[in-house]
Amino acid sequence: MNAKSLCLWAGLLFLPFVSGAELAVTLSPIKTEGQKTIVSLVMRNNFAEVIESARAAVFLLDENGKLVGQASKWVIGGTSHTGSEKKRGLPSGGTNSFYFVITATKPFTTTNFTAKVSFSRVVLEGGKLADMRNAVKFQP
């Protein structure tokens, strides 16, 4: 095998790890009723390994760009509410939904909101941290 074909095969073997290594996230339309707003995320694990946990924050903005609410949660894995047991992760190729519920102290005066979502941490199998520059891709 010559050097040119060896480089080609090595590149083809490495390509799936580069192009598909991400957590694909789709945001559903925001739903608001009274004092509650629900922001729904659908996530698909395109990594070759299990995602043990992922933490995200949602910032709810009104039509003027003013922050009207926020929430931060473990959307994959993390620990239970009691803190005694660890939740399951997301296997490779698996999908999961998570619903952020943002509650206001008084009823919202508008329902024209925009949600900005930011992932601060993605932990892969074995406790390895994902590179946050490329770990999360938002789908239209």
- For residue range 71-107, list pLDDT tens digits in order: 999 999 976 566 666 778 999 999 999 999 999 877 7
Summarised one tens digit per residue, pLDDT across range 10-38 is 443 443 444 457 999 999 999 998 889 99
pLDDT exceeds 70 at position 8:
no
DSSP-derived secondary structure for the chain: --HHHHHHHHHHHHHHHHHS-SEEEEEPPPEEETTEEEEEEEEEE-SSS-EEEEEEEEEEE-TTS-EEEEEEEEEES-B-TTSSSBPP-B-TT-EEEEEEEEE-SS--S----EEEEEEEEEEEGGGPBP-TTTSEEEE-
Structural domains present in the chain: 21-139 (2.60.40.10)
pTM for the predicted model, two decimal places? 0.77
